Chains A and B, each alone.
Chain A
Amino acid sequence: MAGPQFEVPTLTEYTEVPKIREGAMSHLKSFVAAETSQSYLGYPHQLPADWKERALDRMGQVLEKFRSVRVFMDACVHCGACTDKCHYFLGTADPNNMPVARQELMRKVYRRYFTLPGKIAPWLVGAEDLTEETLGKWYNYYHQCSECRRCSVYCPYGIDTAEITMAGREILNYVGIGQKYSSEILVKVQKIGNNLGLPGPALEDTLAGLEEDIEADTGVPVKMPLNVKGAEILLVTPSADFFSEPHVESLIGYAKVFHAAGVSWTLSTHASEAGNFGLFNGNYETMRNVAMRIRDAALELGVKRIIVGECGHAWRVAYAYWNTLTGIGWGGDDPFAKQLRDQLDMRYPQPMHICEYTWDLIEKGALKFDKSLNDDRVITFHDSCNVARGSRMGDEPGGQFTIPRNIIRAVANHYQDMAAETIGEGTFCCGGGGGMLTDDLIEARVKGALPRMNAYNNVVRSDGVNFLALICAICKAQFTKVLPYYGFDRNSVGGVHQLVSTAIKLD
């Protein structure tokens, strides 16, 4: 690893709130998308002559289509409750990374063009003209937000900066300023079926290789079926699970659970990706197009259940949006929803998280474990932001916190939570979510990981923790990259189903 071009923060016992340093991160710009991906998504790739009209026009449409943005633009009173809640602010001290200031970048323009006081007395209410400089700031700071929603927990009006960031990115796309990373991924997932651009035959080879590995390792012929019509379960998982480390260990875990349960299941090449970057860009239509692949695959394969692998934002989209976007879920009476509903098994929630599935089997006593096989690990669990604050597992609110921990305790003997204010609904983002998992943003990723690293460091030192368990593909990739910057071993990161995989007894 070449030395970083920036100062890595030092770990402290508590994450202190820094004094603001204006412009501390104003130099950091993500690479801008080129023509090919932008035009595929229906956006221009450079600033059109009428960019200002286009931007304001789109802003007006967003205000009419999304109540969140409409209300959030008006409701903020600048109380300051959110100012010390964002991990990017805590790690960088740049005041534009305070949630309220990030929102204010858009609110200034909203006031100027959409409110009476901003039109007649902009200086009084903090309204500003929309200029190319404004767009530059938007691009900069709307790509230093991982849409983790931590600010929305603490705002007295529930203002969610993620909604503003999404709107900001959407407007930027409309005037030709897209982010290379997200833009290209959105093309790959729609053209090929997954974010990594892994074509069908390569996926087939990979799965065959994994089957051989598992059999060599355990002596049990655990299968990884692909495109099997009539299978009961369709597993949709982040494509990183197919060949990234440590992700693949969790994929092996899912396969072992399905094997032990004796259930028929399949993956799909067409829907070989759970992640949905449409969420990050805030474009409903794109998000819907990406999600439709899952519906199409489910209909084509005739499955009864849809289960989602370990992935944070993906689970949020699956849990909270799939029913809306694609009719995967219950309660829809329209023909579109009925078509799929009639095929799915009424006895289960649709979609279901792999942790819900595994925990259900554990509760029924259907899985057997040798917990001692995990004895070399002292485990802690990182609540991934969008699972924690944008979704649920099980029937009770908060099941997204208890179920993964229950699984860990069922398969391992040594578990220790991190400090209470850094987990659960107050969990800190890994620093790489929401379209920021790209090397051109590494400085924000490393600095944004500081609050989590501090909390992790505390349990490493006091309890000898050596394993950071997760249920998110982005968190896994982010921590694998960022842990070494803070002096930790990159191999101490892994999925909950990696732990399951280690301890499960197969016949």
Chain B
Amino acid sequence: MTSLTVFYTTLFYFATLVLIGGVAYRIYEYSRTPAPLKIPTTPAPTSNAGVVVRMAREVVLFESLFKSNKWIWIFGWLFHVGLAVVLLRHVRYFQEPAWFWVEFIQPFGKYASFIMVAGLAGLWARRFLVDRVRYISTPSDHLMLALLVAIGLSGMMMTFVSHTDIVALKAFMLGLMTFDFQPMPADGVLMVHLGLVALLMIIFPISKLLHAPGIFFSPTRNQADNPREQRHLAPWAAALERNKS
């Protein structure tokens, strides 16, 4: 194996471990931290089924953001939808043969990258143009956008400008999954693309990307509005009751 293959093989195992382990740990942390009081932002659904619907609308449609600011909503939603379609298109690099729907969305996935990058560009522009958003932007906010744009552009380069050896890449990826290691193609653009993706995976559990698991644990959105009907008591608060009263 070339040192290039060794490097990328190690990198991807490491990044995958950090991503899965890190996010799992965060989810564990969030789920084990109690929400001692009922704090849904009302009006809120009164049943758990209603909460599922509310959460789905937030996650799929970004409903609260839509209420808030149409510019952020359009850029943010386009970016996320574009990213989702692009990611689904990439499933084909991890399976042989690919599922029907994965083949089906290939053309959409290719052009979704434009939507994704356009959304990112819009979000980035706001960090310069809107004085309030400029004030709250940190260097890491800019770097995060730069990283995502660079991943998008390097991917688009390979799709639309200088094709990489897709067969060799797929062999490399399948090899990672079956521990039957294959050479990593020595293509500069591909190396950049995969390196940045690995970086994104590594910083995911220690950055604001935690908004993705976080929203599911947000008490203002995931609680049913039924405090008069059901007694809601956190374990530490129940202990208080036993000790004092």
Contacts and interface: CB of A to CB of B under 8 A. Distances in A.
Given A124-B139, A320-B38, A320-B39, A159 B133 contact: no
Given A64-B33, A77-B208, A78-B137, A331 B231 contact: yes
The majority secondary structure among interface residues of chain B is helix
Contacts of A153: 41, 64, 67
B4 interface: no
Interface stretch (B8-16, B103-111, B149-157, B215-223): B215-223
B240 A81 contact: no
Contacts of B143: 124
A320 B37 CA distance: 8
Contacts of A454: none
B76 interface: yes
Contact of A323 (B133, B225, B232): B232
B215 A158 contact: yes
Nearest to A66: B36
B99 interface: no
B35 interface: yes
Contacts of B221: 157-158
A324 B123 CA distance: 42
A80 B139 contact: no
A223 to B, nearest CB: 28
Contact of B219 (A67, A327, A333, A390): A67
Nearest to B210: A74
Interface string B186-212: 000000000000000001001110110
B228 A349 contact: yes
A287 to B, nearest CB: 9
B131 interface: yes
A377 to B, nearest CB: 28
Interface string A382-417: 000000111110010110110000000000000000
B227 A324 contact: yes
A378 interface: no
Contacts of B72: 79-81
A324 B37 contact: yes
| Residue from the set B34, B130, B217, B220 with the largest chain A CB neighbour count within 10 Å | B220
B245 A336 contact: yes
B43 A425 contact: yes
Contacts, number: 231
Interface in A346-363: 349-351
Interface in B82-123: 123
Interface in A316-372: 319-321, 323-324, 327, 329-334, 336-337, 349-351
A68 B220 contact: yes
Contact of A157 (B38, B218, B233): B218
A288 B229 contact: no
Nearest to B65: A156
B203 to A, nearest CB: 8
A392 B43 contact: yes
Interface residues of A, number: 80
Contact of A158 (B132, B218, B236): B218
Contacts of A331: 229-231
A210 interface: no
A225 interface: no
A400 B218 contact: no
A389 B64 CA distance: 14
A246 B21 CA distance: 59
Contacts of B214: 71, 74-75, 157
Contact of B136 (A100, A336, A425): A100
A199 to B, nearest CB: 26
A30 interface: no
A117 interface: yes
Given A78-B133, A324-B232, A329-B227, 19 more contacts: A67-B35, A67-B217, A71-B219, A74-B210, A78-B208, A80-B136, A101-B135, A149-B41, A154-B64, A156-B58, A158-B41, A319-B227, A323-B230, A324-B36, A327-B231, A329-B229, A351-B228, A395-B46, A400-B42
Interface of A: 17, 19-20, 63-68, 70-72, 74-85, 95, 98, 100-101, 104, 115-117, 123-126, 149, 152-160, 163, 284-285, 288, 292, 319-321, 323-324, 327, 329-334, 336-337, 349-351, 388-392, 395, 397-398, 400-401, 425-426
Closest 6 CB pairs of A and B: A75-B214, A332-B231, A126-B138, A154-B68, A158-B220, A397-B43
11 contacts: A68-B219, A76-B208, A79-B65, A98-B135, A124-B139, A153-B64, A153-B67, A159-B218, A331-B231, A350-B228, A390-B41
